[in-house]
A and B are shown apart, each in its own frame.
Chain A
Amino acid sequence: MKLKDIKAKYRELFVVEKSPEEKNKPRDIKKTVKDFWYGKPHEERRLGDLYVGDTGLYKHREWRGVKDTFYYFNMVWLYNYAHMVSDIVKYGEGPQGIVDFAKGIMRYRWMGQTYLSVMHWFDRGMEGMRGEALRASAWHYRGMTSETIRQFQRMFISDKKIHNGKEPKNWKKNIAHNETVGGSIFYPWRDVLDDVPLEMIPYFVSVHVNNHTVLNYIDAAQSIGLPSDPCPMCQAEYGLFVNDDYPDYAPTMVTSNEACDGSVATSVMQDWFLNRPLYAMPQPMRYDDPLVQEHCQKEIEGCWKFIEEQYGIPFDFEQYVKYARSFNKLTEFEWEKWDVAANTPYYPINGVAQALYRIYYSQDGDRPIWHEIDDHVKKIMNKTVKNKINCFPKTRHRAIAWSCAPLYYSNWCTWAYNCWGINCVINMDSLMFDQYLRTDTYEHALEDLAWMNEKAPMRAMAVGGHKHILSLFDYMERFNCDMVIMYDQLQCKGMQGIHGIFEDEFRKRDIHAIWVPHALPDKRTVSRKEIRKIISDYMTTVMHEEPLDPTLVDFDDDKSW
């Protein structure tokens, strides 16, 4: 390689070229110092210039001003990297956990390909964030990372597959379940058994961190004859089994019908592959029919009986009460957050952190980490409200995102704010599990638990009658939104089946709605770049707006994690 080539490569990888306008500007020392201290104003950041080609990697880190850059380096980078090591030991039940972790990395593709790219996932979500928005959003990410480590370490230390087929001591103390079965179902045994969703980390979390990983599973599912059109989320779950890439950490399985035909069908497939005691705990489709409640409650009781029989441990209502009450505190804070998000500009959490954290903790159920995170975020939010800090000052549009999101591009909202000032204040999945759990009597507890599970992701809005999905318009009003980001999951039959009605309603109500096609985890159907183009095209051709940061309008990050 010649020196010339080395220099060119160096420039390509590390040097951010200045725009011609900037080059020609006279040097302004005062402004340079100010930009150094506070960071550049939003419109001058040119974040798109930081990327290396189509990789989505940064030539250098974003300078956010002294305070925020150091906060990010210390409290996001260093803090999380340190915890990513210490949590391995903590949740791995000692130093042996490190060995199991290493074995897990080697054995499972979804693990080996994602762990080291976690901090890039933080970077993508936090891009352009400043001040309290940066801090609160980063805490949410921290919570998800910690709980992810807890879950996969629990799987690894109990996994027969990485222990030469032998049964590790915790194997019999775990309950495996669909990622769509709410963790709240298992509260009566939380102190003695550990419920770990089977696909949550291998598929759902991993696709957020590294969107390439899941493609292998989708292809595996199709390689044995599954057509390509069913929901790709279910296909990916299926592929984990086809490739034998799931840990064997529990003697039983609990499945659900959450909340579509593909999910039911996935349970059938899981039965064939797992070949172990399985309890299907379907929830009613017409869930707000008063007549279905008793049926739903009995199914939950059936699940409890199954656990009692399989593990020989009796149902403990006191434990249920303890965890339900504790979870209620998370719910109360969530309502506070919604109130601030709906009625003020002081909400310090960005769209992606809001969406992912909410779906993660509410599905997972009560865990100490969520309380720890909420305490941090509460302090930040109290400060922003008290001091009237506008956390997203460049907001031009308050958007609500509806339907299921592109998992490979959940951070589109960060981009949309940086580029166009579209602030995604709430999304459909955040509004699920909206249920306070009474604990005064067994009957009340069961009734509310059933309701909670009936309001699980997708089910709450997408099934049980068209009024649920059309509740978008009520939420739009409640959260003071002027724009809808309408996720168009191309393989979701339920949402595709009501496409035209939404078109009609948007026209009738004169609402700006941007349809964002995607295929949940499969980036090959509609790429991130295409999603950005669709939004940008709408903003220029319909809204006639100029981008806040023109360097973000068109760039390629196809190879990015």
Chain B
Amino acid sequence: MKDLVHIFELEDLLQEANNELIRKAKSDGKRILGYTCYFMPEVLLDLPGCVSVRLRAPRSTSPEMATYYMSGRTCMYGRCLLERALEGGYNFLDAQLATETCTVTCRFQEHLQMMDIIQNPDFFCEFTDVPFKKNDNSIDHYEKQLQVHVLNKLKEHFGIDISDEALLTAIKQHNEICRLITEIGSYRKLDEPTITGTEFSIIMLSTLVCPKYLIIEKLKDIAEQLKTRQPDVKKTYRCKVVLAGSEEDDPNFVKLIEECGALVVADRHCYGSLPGREEIVVKEGESPLRAIARHYLETSMCPRFMEQHIMRERKQFLADVAKEYKADGIIVSQMKFCEYWSYERTIDTLILPRDFGIPVCSIEKEYVNNAVGQLRTRFQAFVESIELKAIQKTKKET
């Protein structure tokens, strides 16, 4: 396929947290607000005068200093973030809006509070409590938390306008991004997708780590190009897969899967778009903040949710995504030492083939992807097993 417009530029922007566009936004007088988790609504951090940055630690190697503080037995994502912070890589942050949603990222953010790491006199780190359920009680609670620990703090520290009008403006901009990403992502549903998983991953990630007002035109250009983009004459993949799992912010990992012959057509993981890029709907009579709180709780598919029906719906959701995107299998990937996904991955690996007949490749990986050879072997074997199943199925039918 012909190269996507802006794709190399966006890929470059992913090479460092304090990228060119963040620096531009900073020079435009914006406040740069960091976060790590979907449960910190990025839309609130994109209020007029602010720019949200979901933290990544690209090009990390061995997080030595962070390993002293957090030991070698914690999720490497959390450690790499702390390492980058200790190296001064996040000094551009004006604030970190934190959540205690998974243990290690929580500890990382607590280190930002405890140690004078971020060399920015304005910097503060504030925690929000996030509920474990999706009921009304949880939405009430979450809304209250967001008001006090996010909005009020932004107003107090930076004089940000947190009125309903400002929130509606932020929602509007956010929804525009969501519409574009959803449109771009929809080409993955085609029988022969006209966008690769790697390309989509780059585009999706760039919306999380770049100021939205500076990339929106680029997204529009991409969406426009995709309308007429034709797939390769000869198929370059052998099967289609959904990538599900924990934190994943490395397009090279998606590239690795695709090099093994599995086209990644859907992304159901932290930093993915399913969920993540659904439009926020403000219902009649509902305040914008209430709509945001409800939206983020309702759309999240995090294994942190404990309600019985929600736990079961998660499996159904994954099966539905596989069906909608015409995937032949699911790769469930778990960041090593992530407890939520250790269990979720194990259960997915048992339930999805048994109850939904979907093949699953279950892997554990590090944030810094060193075990490329082993993973390649696993993916190649998975692709072959899917092909074999397809052959057997065809034989049975004939």
Identify the A interface with B (CB < 8 A): 224-227, 229-231, 234, 238, 255, 257, 260-262, 264-269, 271-272, 277-280, 282, 284-286, 289, 291-292, 294-295, 298-299, 302, 463-466, 490-491, 493-494, 496-501, 503
Contact = CB atoms under 8 A, between A and B. Distances in A.
A177 to B, nearest CB: 14
Contacts of B137: 295, 298-299, 302
A302 B144 CA distance: 19
Contact of A465 (B127, B131, B344): B127
Given A284-B129, A294-B141, A493-B103, A264 B306 contact: yes
Contacts of A280: 132-133, 306-308
Nearest to B109: A466
Interface stretch (B47-55, B65-73, B271-279, B286-294): B65-73
A294 B141 CA distance: 8
A355 B129 CA distance: 30
A227 B341 CA distance: 10
Given A265-B303, A302-B137, A501-B69, A272 B347 contact: yes
A223 to B, nearest CB: 11
Interface of B: 68-71, 73-75, 78, 100, 102-104, 106-108, 110-111, 113-115, 127-133, 135, 137-138, 140-141, 144-145, 148, 303-304, 306-308, 311-312, 334, 336-340, 342-347, 349-351, 362, 364
Contacts of B133: 280, 282, 299
Contacts of B114: 466, 501
A298 B138 CA distance: 9
Nearest to A290: B148
B110 A226 contact: no
Nearest to B132: A282
Given A224-B350, A286-B100, A490-B73, A229 B68 contact: no
A545 B150 CA distance: 53
The 9 A-B residue pairs with the shortest CB-CB distance, nearest first, are A497-B107, A500-B69, A265-B343, A280-B306, A295-B141, A282-B132, A261-B339, A286-B129, A285-B100
A210 to B, nearest CB: 27
Nearest to B144: A291
Given A224-B346, A496-B71, A292 B129 contact: yes
A407 to B, nearest CB: 19
B339 A498 contact: no
A264 B129 contact: no
Nearest to B350: A224
A292 B71 CA distance: 31
Nearest to A265: B343
Contacts of A284: 129, 131, 141
A309 to B, nearest CB: 14
A266 to B, nearest CB: 7
Given A230-B342, A291-B148, A466 B113 contact: yes
A252 to B, nearest CB: 11
B136 to A, nearest CB: 9
Of listed B312, B338, B349, residue having the most chain A CB within 10 A: B338
Given A257-B132, A285-B100, A291-B148, A225 B343 contact: no
A21 B216 CA distance: 87
A465 B110 contact: yes
Contact of A291 (B110, B145, B307, B340): B145
Contact of B70 (A289, A466, A496): A496
Contacts of A302: 135, 137
Contacts of B140: 295
Given A229-B336, A234-B339, A499-B69, 16 more contacts: A224-B346, A230-B343, A261-B340, A265-B343, A269-B343, A269-B346, A278-B308, A280-B306, A282-B133, A289-B145, A291-B145, A493-B337, A497-B71, A499-B71, A500-B69, A501-B69
